[in-house]
Amino acid sequence: MQAQDLALVPKPVELKKQEGTFLLDKHTTITYAISLAREAEFFTSQIKVATGLDIKRTDTKTKQLIELKLDNTINESIGEEGYQLVVEKKKVTITAKSNTGIFYGLQSLLQLLPDYAFSRVNTNAVSITIPCVSIVDYPRFKWRGFMMDASRSFQSVAYLKKTIDLMAMHKMNVLHWHLTDDHGWRIEIKKYPWLSEKGAWRKQPNYPVKGEMGNYGGYYTQKQIRELVKYAAERHITIVPEVDLPGHSSALLWAMPELSCDSVEQQQHMQYFRDYPMRSVNYIRHRGTNVICAGKESVYPVIEDIIDEIISLFPSEYIHVGGDEVDKKWWSACPHCQKGAKKERLNDMDELQAYFINRVEKMVNARGRKLIGWDEILEGGLSESASVMAWRNIEGAKKSLDQGRKTVVAAHQGYYIQENQTTNPFHPQGWPRINTAREVYEFNPVPKGTTAAQEEKILGIQTSVWTPFMHNDQLLDIALYPRNVALSEAAWVDKNSKDWENFEARLHKHLKRLNYLGVAYWREDSVKIGSWQTNDLWKQQSVLTFDISKELTKPGVYFVLGDMQEGAELIVEKAIVLENGKQIAHDVHIGLISKEKNHDRIYFMDIQRVDKTAKYELQLQVKGTLGKVSKGDVYLLKP
Residues annotated as part of the active site: 181, 248, 325
Q: Tell me the DSSP string of 6-74.
A: HT-SSPPSEEEEEEEEEEEETT-EEE--GGGHHHHHHHHHHHHHHH---PEE-SS--SSEEEEEE-TTS
Q: With contact defined as beta carbons under 8 Å apart, do 245 and 360 qualify? A: yes
Q: With contact defined as beta carbons under 8 Å apart, do 197 and 168 qualify? A: no
Burial of 599 (0-12, 13-18, 19+ CB in 10 A): middle
Q: With contact defined as beta carbons under 8 Å apart, do 273 and 280 qualify? A: yes
* CA pair distance 341, 331, nearest whole angstrom: 10
Q: With contact defined as beta carbons under 8 Å apart, do 509 and 5 qualify? A: no
Q: State the CB neighbour count (10 A cutoff) for residue 294.
A: 27
Measured CA distances, 556 to 157, 585, 617 (Å): 22, 11, 16
Rg (CA), the chain: 26
Q: With contact defined as beta carbons under 8 Å apart, do 42 and 203 qualify? A: no
Q: With contact defined as beta carbons under 8 Å apart, do 517 and 605 qualify? A: no
| Residues forming beta bridges with residue 605, ordered by sequence position | 558
Antiparallel, parallel or unpaired: β 387-390 and 407-409: parallel
In 213-265, which ranges are E strands? Answer: 213-217, 238-245
Tally the C-alpha atoms within 13 A of residue 140's C-alpha that lie toward its C-beta. Answer: 23
Residue 292 per-residue DSSP state? B
Q: Tell me the DSSP string of 470-532.
A: --SHHHHHHHHTTHHHHHHHHHHS-GGG--HHHHHHHHHHHHHHHHHTT--------EEEEEE
Residue 325 neighbours by CB under 8 Å, 6+ apart: 247, 248, 285, 376
Q: With contact defined as beta carbons under 8 Å apart, do 176 and 491 qualify? A: no
Q: With contact defined as beta carbons under 8 Å apart, do 167 and 430 qualify? A: no
* CA pair distance 145, 464, nearest whole angstrom: 9
Tally the C-alpha atoms within 13 A of residue 59's C-alpha that lie toward its C-beta. Answer: 2
Antiparallel, parallel or unpaired: β 29-31 and 56-57: parallel
Residue 570 neighbours by CB under 8 Å, 6+ apart: 532, 537, 562, 564, 592, 593, 594, 622, 623, 624, 630, 632
Q: Tell me the DSSP string of 177-227.
A: EE-EETTEE-B--TTSTHHHHHHTEEEEE-SSSTT-EEEEE--B-HHHHHH
First CA to last CA distance, the chain: 26
Q: With contact defined as beta carbons under 8 Å apart, do 237 and 168 qualify? A: yes
